[in-house]
A and B are shown apart, each in its own frame.
Chain A
Amino acid sequence: MTSALSKIYFFLIGLFLALPLIVVAGVSVNAKQTLAFPPKGFSPSWYGEIFLNPEWRNALLASLTLAILSAALAVAIALPLAWFLWRRIAPWANIFQLLGVAPFTLPPVITALGLLTFWATTGFYGQPWTAVVSHAIFFVTLPLVTLSLGFTAIDRSLVEAAATMGADDRTIFRTVVLPLILPYIVSGYAFAFVLSLNEYIVAYMTVGFIIETLPIKIFNALRYGYTPTMASVTILFVVTAAVIFSLVARFGDLPKLLGAMSSDGK
Chain B
Amino acid sequence: MRREAPHRLADYGPLFFPAMMLIVFFVVPFATMIAVSFFQRQQGGFYVPAFELANYQRFLSLFFANVLGFSLMLAIAVAVCCVVLAVPFTYLLTRMARKVQVVWLVALLSVLSLSEVIIGFAWSTLFSRTAGITNLLVMAGLMSEAKALLPSFGAVLTGMVYQAFPYTVLVLYPALVRLDPTLTEAARTLGASPVKAFFTVVVPALRNTITATLIMVFIFALGSYLLPQILGRPQHWTLSVLITDQAIYQSNMPFAAAMAVFLVLVTLGLVALTVIAGRKGEAA
Interfacial residues, chain A to chain B (CB-CB below 8 A)? 2, 6, 9-10, 13-14, 16-17, 19-21, 23-24, 26-27, 34-38, 76-78, 80-81, 83-84, 86-90, 93, 96, 99-100, 102-103, 105-111, 113-118, 120-121, 133-134, 136-137, 140, 156-157, 159-160, 163, 172, 194-195, 198-201, 204-205, 208, 215-216, 218-219, 222, 230-231, 234, 237-238, 241-242, 245-246, 249, 254-255, 258-263, 266
Contact = CB atoms under 8 A, between A and B. Distances in A.
Nearest to B119: A20
Contacts of A23: 122, 125-126, 131-133
B14 interface: yes
Contact of A215 (B27, B30, B115): B115
A242 B103 CA distance: 10
A163 B1 contact: yes
Given A24-B125, A231-B125, A238-B114, A117 B33 contact: yes
Contacts of B114: 198, 237-238, 241
Given A80-B14, A107-B263, A261 B174 contact: yes
B162 A118 contact: no
B210 interface: no
A20 B125 contact: yes
B196 to A, nearest CB: 11
Given A80-B15, A107-B222, 11 more contacts: A19-B133, A20-B119, A90-B6, A99-B26, A109-B263, A117-B253, A118-B33, A201-B116, A201-B226, A246-B106, A258-B105
Nearest to B28: A118
B223 interface: yes
Interface of B: 1-6, 11-12, 14-19, 21-23, 25-30, 32-33, 36, 85, 88-89, 92, 98, 101-102, 105-111, 113-126, 128, 130-133, 135, 162, 165-166, 170-171, 173-175, 177-178, 193-195, 216, 219, 222-223, 225-226, 230, 240, 243-244, 247-248, 253, 256-257, 260, 263-264, 267, 271
Contacts of B219: 105, 107
B102 A88 contact: no
Interface residues of B, dominant DSSP: helix
A150 to B, nearest CB: 15
A34 B264 CA distance: 43
Residue from A89, A96, A103, A245 with most neighbouring chain B CB atoms (10 Å)? A245
A195 B111 CA distance: 11
Contacts of A27: 125, 131
Nearest to A38: B135
Given A19-B126, A254-B106, A107 B101 contact: no
B162 A109 contact: no
Contact of B105 (A17, A216, A254, A260): A254
B240 to A, nearest CB: 5
A23 B118 CA distance: 13
Nearest to B266: A107
B244 A259 contact: no
Contact of A109 (B166, B177, B260): B260
Given A35-B131, A218-B117, A258-B173, A107 B105 contact: no
Contact of A96 (B18, B85, B116, B194): B18
A76 to B, nearest CB: 7
Q: Across chains A and B, which 9 residue pairs bring their CB atoms closest together, nearest first?
A: A107-B223, A118-B29, A20-B122, A37-B131, A81-B18, A198-B115, A80-B14, A114-B29, A159-B1
A93 B118 CA distance: 38
Given A109-B263, A200-B117, A81 B122 contact: no
